[in-house]
Amino acid sequence: MAFIEITIPPLPHYIASGYNSIPKGGQHPSRSNIQVFDLLITTSGCFYIGEEDERFEVGVGQAVILRPDRYHFATKVCEELTYTYWLHFHVGGAWELMKPSAVAAVPLEDPAPEDAEVEAFAVEPFTMRIPQFTTLQHPEKMYEVFDQLLQLQPRAHVNSVRFAQQQLFQDILYQLAASAETAHASASRACAEKAASYLRQHFRESVTAKQLGDELNFHPVYIARCMQKEYGCSPLTYLLKLRVGQAKLLLLQTELPIAHIAQEVGFEQAAYFAASFTKLEGMSPRSYRQQFAHRS
């Protein structure tokens, strides 16, 4: 299964949607490089469309997303009257089509650190994977959201209505992403989320890989693989980032001594805290605090 992987922020943006019919013997129009993503969901009948070397047969309760930079063409006429919802959306940030053969193995090691910019609270991007072609888990729920979008269309010139459209669109993306979840993927994500929850609850304590494994009843290597896949780092690095993030809050919001802050966020030694902070933020805790101090 091919996935469209979108880096967020920025969020994908809803443009327009509608409900179309294709008569028996008719076909979806051929188009090239329309510059927006085209989501199509069949509610009755079936239509047939191609994108380069891919061919899609989109039946009832199925969805396909056509890319903005490719040629789309009908591969066959409809054998019966067919109805489809359609939706155009724009992705302002990075995105990539990922095919199963192109998905690399997840390494256990963390990637080499990059030079960090000085920011009080850095925005941490994440990715959303939505299948290019899928069978919806709950098609009726998806149809309901599309109907709500259509009801809003006559008042789309009102800012509050446009905001409501964007919220409904995010629900559509969430449903599409959920439709691609396999039991294996769900288990992997559940393990990573349990590990992250445990680390967040116990970040002030000394947590070892063995202890984490015992608490979650999973092998530490499996936990590491799951967290690497879901969060892009090992449990140890996740814990360090969490502690340093909490330390940044205390450095900005309090006048507590740095050694006290180190203990407050789980570091037994101030020197190790300073080294870890400097590695992740590119400057010492003291320099970080001074960076945002008021200068008269």
CATH 2.60.120.280 in the chain, residues? 3-98+106-116+120-179
pLDDT of the residue at 186: 74
Q: Counting beta carbons within 10 angstroms of the beta carbon of residue 34, is it exposed (0 to 12), middle (13 to 18) or buried (19 or more)?
A: middle
Whether the per-residue pLDDT at 199 is higher than 50: the answer is yes
Instruction: Tell me yes or no: is domain 187-296 CATH 1.10.10.60.
Output: yes
Question: Could you give the percent of the chain with pLDDT greater than 70?
Answer: 90
126-131 β-sheet, strand order: 95-98, 3-8, 126-131
- Return the amino acid letter for 80: E
Q: Helices 220-231 and 183-201 sit at what angle, rounded to 10 degrees?
A: 100
- Mean pLDDT (the chain) is 89
- 120: confidence class by pLDDT, cuts 50, 70, 90: low
Q: Counting beta carbons within 10 angstroms of the beta carbon of residue 284, is it exposed (0 to 12), middle (13 to 18) or buried (19 or more)?
A: middle
Alpha-carbon separation of residue 221 from 93, 139, 154 (angstroms) = 33, 38, 54
- HSE at residue 238, side-chain half, CA atoms within 13 A, is 29
- 166: confidence class by pLDDT, cuts 50, 70, 90: very high
Question: Could you give the percent of the chain with pLDDT greater than 90?
Answer: 77
- 296: confidence class by pLDDT, cuts 50, 70, 90: low
Question: 3-98+106-116+120-179 falls under which CATH superfamily?
Answer: Regulatory protein AraC (2.60.120.280)
Q: Which of 52-61, 64-73, 94-103, 227-236 is predicted with the least confidence, judged by mean pLDDT?
A: 94-103
